[in-house]
Amino acid sequence: MSSEISKARRLLVAAVKSCVLPDLKARGFVEMPKHKEPVPMWDLNRAHADGGYDVISVVFDERKRPQFYAIINLVPREGMRIGGSVSPAEKVTAATLLERVYVQKRSQGVLAFLLPKWFSHTWFGFDAMADEAANAEAAQTACAEFIACLDQAELWWKTRELGPNLVKASVGAVLRDPNAPSPNPDAEA
């Protein structure tokens, strides 16, 4: 990875920490305990009066490019069945659920299907600039674009109405609950 891309990614991570996370916390979200992840990722939840949670996961690109997206979801007070066990509601993250709603950057116009869905430092997330001030400004712009989409997420949490920057999808793989104990290979199936 080039040093320009690495610097741009560090600036974007710093911008998410200084802009996006405080905005989410102002909306009532709290950070959940961190799990060791190969990429920067934040899981936050906001409790409901009924014991359920609104959850959001902010995830950076695995290929180390300066770009991120978010996953939102709802967790009922009963928790979720994940991989054969029930995880308590307060421990379930948006990224562990099979049914997800992605918060994505949606382009307009004829070529919208060609443009990326990431909140990115640059159009394709890998054309970093050598100028640190320009990189910092691009990172702030990406965060501002994401924050502008949070009202759509708030509406979805209340009504399940998908806004133009929200996409519902299913993940095809069975995910293991990060809070569950490791499976015992000696146990009978």
- DSSP code per residue over the chain: --HHHHHHHHHHHHHIIIIIHHHHHHTT-EEPPP---SS-EEEEEEE-TTS-EEEEEEEE-TT--SEEEEEEEEE-TT-EEETTEEEPGGG--GGG-SEEEEE-----STTTTTS--SEESSSSS----S-HHHHHHHHHHHHHHHHHHHHHHHHHHHH----TTEEEEE-SSPPPPTTSPPP-TTS--
Ranges 55-69, 79-93, 146-160, 169-183: which has the least confidence: 169-183
Taking the model in full, what pTM does it have?
0.80
Asked if residue 10 has pLDDT above 80, the reply is yes
Asked if residue 174 has pLDDT above 70, the reply is no
Ranges 31-40, 46-55, 63-72, 73-82: which has the least confidence: 31-40
Band of residue 37 on the pLDDT scale cut at 50, 70, 90: low
- Over the chain, what is the mean pLDDT? 79
